[in-house]
Chain A
């Protein structure tokens, strides 16, 4: 994870049309500006960044499903439960499951666990919009490739 760049996912382990699993390692606290602020002397992974991590996993699931033709954007966060603290250097398993794909939106469930223990879960609504620019679409495809996804270039 590179928290200050919002790069939350380190590696996508598996993805199919309805589910995705990914791995992340929380960075060390020393020298990390996020942990310098959250919180001084008591570094904890911010809950909002855990939700962002589940949103990104859901987004990559939707990108896979839509063959990278549209850009998922977080629209709604529901039923978020943050069950336990996440400390620096923790290894996280992030899972996203598609609950429903509608017209221009999707509903997904996200979960994070660490060492087999439930950390948090959420229901998310994502809009699927046209990419605002081909450059951003190419960057997203390249980022997905670097995480281990198979990406087919558009014809």
Chain B
């Protein structure tokens, strides 16, 4: 199966006007790719569906706004992919 990075990059390219080849592991979703909050909502919805998770965007935003966590921790592609992998790993097993 494709990596979380590739799957998320595909989602962003399909959901927004950003071309797939511009999305690199070091791309900042907002600063570099120009994704606005409404497009990001669509991307999060697609990630939620694709990975069967609930991306905690509100908690992330609160942490960033409070200065507890740098925005890069969540919004740079390679880190976003890591966070998604963590959320998938933390998912209860099906039927559990």
Contacts and interface: CB of A to CB of B under 8 A. Distances in A.
Interface of A: 75-76, 100-105, 107, 125, 127
> What interface size band does chain B fall in?
10 to 19
A102 B42 CA distance: 11
Contact of A103 (B38, B42, B49, B54): B54
B69 to A, nearest CB: 15
A127 B44 CA distance: 13
18 contacts: A75-B38, A76-B41, A76-B42, A100-B48, A101-B54, A102-B44, A102-B48, A102-B55, A102-B57, A103-B54, A103-B56, A103-B57, A104-B57, A105-B44, A105-B45, A107-B45, A125-B41, A127-B41
Nearest to A129: B58
Interface in B38-68: 38, 41-42, 44-45, 48-49, 54-59
A103 B61 CA distance: 11
Interface string B55-96: 111110000000000000000000000000000000000000
Contacts of A105: 41, 44-45
A125 B42 contact: yes
B55 A76 contact: no
Nearest to A125: B41
Contacts of A103: 44, 54-59
Contacts of B44: 102-103, 105
Contacts of A76: 38, 41-42
B15 to A, nearest CB: 11
Nearest to A107: B45
Contacts of A127: 41
Residue of B56, B58, B59 most packed against chain A (CB within 10 A): B58
Residue of A76, A100, A103, A125 most packed against chain B (CB within 10 A): A103
B45 A100 contact: yes
A99 to B, nearest CB: 9
Contacts of A75: 38, 41
